[in-house]
Amino acid sequence: MFGDLSLVSLIVSLMIASTPILFAATGELVVEKAGVLNLGVEGMMLIGAISGFAVAVSTGNPIVGFLGAAAGGAIAALIFGVLTQYLLSNQVATGLALTLFGTGVSALMGQPYNGLKPPPSPRLDIPVLSDLPVVGPILFSHDIMLYVSLLLVAAVWYFLYRTRGGLILRAVGEDHNAAHSLGYNVILIRLGAIAFGGACAGVGGAYLSLIRVPQWTQDMTAGVGWIALAIVVFASWKPYRVILGAYLFGGVTVLQLNLQALGVNISAAYLSMTPFIVTIVVLVIMSANRRKTSLNAPAMLGRIFHASH
């Protein structure tokens, strides 16, 4: 049944499909490590997708486009940040509102850009290596942003577990009252994490509109933001496992697309469901062992910090 599928092209498209999820999930991981639950990932991705697209089209430079996407995502995230950190609004409700807001705003911003083509993104092209069979297409001839996403995970891991800044960020997510009494500025640290998470989500969104698709269509993220949220839990808040999770779900997505293209005798509706069903099943299995999960979850996740003195 898989006879017509080329394994190499399958792996290549898997990596591309996974990259937006990887960006968004890595950003959200940092946010959650600081003890904040931002459910607005989907909205921030959409805002990033259109801001990146608009900037890339008007400057003709896709890298500047990605910077614009990061800025757009971060600004959207900071709206959430101000509401939840200063005005102490409920994080779940505010995050959901951010997603609705992002959907609407991106549709509005995207009106003039329907049907346009973005400038092509630079790709890695190393003589000899990129031309190797199998290894070449899988490892050495992707677009630059795919490598950036993997470097980002490594950088986040290094920051969280090897630097003092990362230690403080984790401490804030572990017990904000204790961190406050030791003299750390909980709100500023959290705002920083929220902005970083938004920037990553924005870049993830722009990866869809500038590289994977590549064009702007309304609601183009189609649930990827939600999957990214689930992957943070799946990864039990560990950076390297986020890669595993993102590639697993990216893989399921690509596989079901290919099966649909091959005309396998399963309704397309069922196939499109599979990534989401797999997400739910994996989350249920993960959560079954509550003892283990809660060991890694930031203890203050989603809790409002109110300085009492």
Q: Which of 259, 261, 251, 255 is nearest to 282 (CA)?
A: 251
Going by C-alpha positions, the residue among 63, 51, 166 that lies closest to residue 109 is 51
Rounded Cα distance, 38 and 21, in Å: 15
Minimum CB separation of residue 38 from another protein in Å reads: 21
Looking at the Cβ atoms of 36 and 57, the one nearer to another protein is 36
- 29 in contact with another protein (CB under 8 A): no
Window 126-165: residues binding another protein (CB under 8 A)? 164
C-alpha distances in Å from residue 251, one per residue of 201, 221, 248: 20, 17, 5
Q: Rule CB under 8 A: choose which of 33, 142, 170, 241 binds another protein.
A: 170
Question: Residue 81 Cβ, how far from another protein at the closest point, in Å?
Answer: 22
The nearest distance, CB 235 to another protein, in angstroms, is 16
And the tokens for 254?
């690509």
| Bridge partners of residue 162, in order along the sequence | none
- 304 touching another protein, by CB under 8 A: no
Asked if residues 239 and 156 have their Cβ atoms less than 8 Å apart, the reply is yes
The verdict on 90 binding another protein (CB under 8 A) reads no
AA identity, residue 6? S
Nearest CB to another protein, comparing residues 117 and 164: 164
Task: With H, G, I as helix, E, B as strand and everything else as coil, classify residue 6.
Answer: coil
24 vs 30, beta carbon nearer another protein: 30
Rule CB under 8 A: choose which of 108, 151, 178, 266 binds another protein. Answer: 178
**Least spacing, CB of residue 293 vs another protein, in Å:** 9
- With CB under 8 A as the contact rule, the residue among 92, 182, 188, 281 that binds another protein is 182
Q: Interaction with another protein in 276-295: which residues (CB under 8 A)?
A: 290-292, 294-295
In this structure, how many other beta carbons lie within 10 angstroms of the beta carbon of residue 283?
15
Q: Name the residue nearer to another protein (CB basis): 30 or 74.
A: 30
Residue 56: both structure tokens together: 């890339």
Q: What is the DSSP string of 261-291?
A: HTT-SS-HHHHHHHHHHHHHHHHHHHHH-HH
Shortest Å, Cβ 95 to another protein: 21
Q: Can you say whether residue 236 is alpha, beta or left, with left for phi > 0 and alpha for psi between -120 and 50 degrees? A: left
Work out how close the CB of 305 gets to another protein at its nearest, in angstroms, rounded to a whole number.
14
Nearest to 228 by CA among 15, 96, 10, 38: 38
- Of 80 and 237, the one with the shorter C-beta distance to another protein is 237
- Taking CB under 8 A as the criterion, the residue among 90, 111, 114, 181 binding another protein is 181
Instruction: Point out which residues bind another protein (CB under 8 A).
Output: 164, 167-168, 170-171, 174-175, 177-179, 181-184, 290-292, 294-296, 299, 309
